[in-house]
Structure 1
């Protein structure tokens, strides 16, 4: 069986920046073992599989090299980029995922792709896991959590840039990942994302976690519109807009590869 595959760099306007995601569109779902094997072979943060319901409506699932992921923002952006590229007359798309619900995707006149996601703000914790504190080289000033990750908040962005992780200890926090974040001088806030339990040591750019970071920093800074930078080696930029119980996350994407893979079902 031959499948068309695209690899897209998301949340960047440069060729080798942002976070790479593979995108495969099918009429029917492949088997879960096959999707997981393809994602492991690709060895990217995520491979997105889309099941076409109509030209502008798709179901979407995301797989890291290790497991299926409930929600992935950068691979959603990559998927929308692929669909818009194949259908240049489209202005909007509708994606659906079990854990997220309906997501409206639009293409803006400035070239950005905007994704309408549910807001998932983090909540304070009664106690902080020792593996979290021991797994980060700098002690945070505040720790919160949503249904995706622990939020370790710092008072200085320099702490985010020089912080080191102990991946073995952070992996014990499964099923939760860890995001570290601080207010920024150049941007509204910056972050880094560690997910050794679910995908890898450090994710280059993580769209999903900004559905928690944006409402957190929006409340702290008193701003409904924020610009966020994920300070990984590749780096990525996200535009966030708070709208009641939703977060609109926008970004650029750059194509890297289009090809055919041969797999046996």
Structure 2
């Protein structure tokens, strides 16, 4: 099995969000996929198999469990496929995931991933969330609700007023873990619009899935784009940049757009390591 370590949402090595990518010629049991993901210990490892000329099947595993969808691992995977001439620029591909069939666009150097049909969910109490984050509720951006949003996974979107607050806060990870488990949410996705270089700056915490903090989160930033679109803050068809990972010294650039109520998230990537799995 061909194995790759890829920095997704990055222009340079050792930036962005690393993912494992395994290209399968024949399928292997889920139990083996989980053992591989646990061994390599990336936040997500993707396993992809070609079904037909323009159709692929993908599965995602964290070190502790399978998850239904992962944006940055998808970007990493299709970047590898592009580099190995298994997919080609300016083409469209179909991808089978646990949340259904999605579209992948290869637009020059960008890999763009259609996310699952978006929706907004429950609104949560500001005081409760502020206490978990270790900040005062006044440091939340009062223009926005604390609301769950879905583009394949449910993430809780938490608006922070100032970038300085966002980058310095140290949340209670155990309380996030308890809260996300009780409310069937994958992550706390914090964002601020106090960012000069991009639409937003974000941080993402998913300790329930073994990810204390992630440097780039495709699905959660897709959920954020849809949330901002529904709050009339972004336009259709325009590509926006979101920054994540600065607090981890792994600055990532995530690109996305809304088109016909569909959410597309993507970026560039760098292959860092390639080899063979002896399994």
Tell whether 2:69 aligns with 1:71. Answer: yes
Query: Contact 1:153/1:181 (CA < 8 Å) preserved in 2?
Result: yes
CA contact (8 A) 1:192 1:231 kept: yes
- Aligned pairs (5 A) from 1:1-265: 3-87=1-85, 90-91=88-89, 92=91, 93-99=93-99, 101-109=100-108, 111-125=109-123, 127=125, 130=128, 132-138=129-135, 139=137, 140-141=140-141, 142-147=145-150, 148-172=154-178, 173-174=180-181, 175-176=184-185, 177-183=187-193, 184-218=195-229, 219-224=231-236, 225=238, 226-232=240-246, 233=248, 234-263=250-279
TM score, norm. by length of structure 2: 0.86
Q: CA separation of 1:37/1:129 partners in 2, compared to 1, >3 Å: closer, same or farther?
A: farther
- Following superposition, the deviation at residue 187 of structure 1 comes to 1.0
Q: Is the 8 A contact 2:7 2:13 kept in 1?
A: yes
Alpha carbons 1:118, 1:211 under 8 Å: kept:
no
- Distance in 1 (alpha carbons) for counterparts of 2:197 and 2:54: 37
Is this contact kept in 1: 2:177–2:207, CA < 8 A? yes
CA distance in 2, matches of 1:5, 1:193: 26
Gap runs ≥5 in structure 1: none
> How far did 1:11 drift?
0.3
Aligned length: 258
Question: Partner of 1:254: helix, strand, or coil?
Answer: strand
Q: Aligned partners of 2:88 and 2:124: how far apart in 1?
A: 47
| 1:195-254 CA-partner distances (Å, limit 9, x unpaired) | 000132101100011221012223342433321111342121112111122112220101
1:9/1:59 CA distance change after superposition, 3 Å: same
Q: Secondary structure at the match of 1:45?
A: coil
CA 1:223–1:245 in structure 2 vs 1: closer, same or farther (change >3 Å)?
Answer: closer
Change (3 A) 1:194 1:89: closer
Cα 1:158–1:121 change in 2 (3 A) is farther
Q: Residues 129, 30 of structure 1: CA spacing in aligned structure 2 closer, same or farther, 3 A cutoff?
A: farther
Q: 1:191 to 1:119 in 2, by over 3 A?
A: farther
TM, length-normalised to structure 1: 0.90
| Structure with more helix by fraction | 2
Whole-angstrom CA distance in 1 between matches of 2:167 and 2:232 = 21
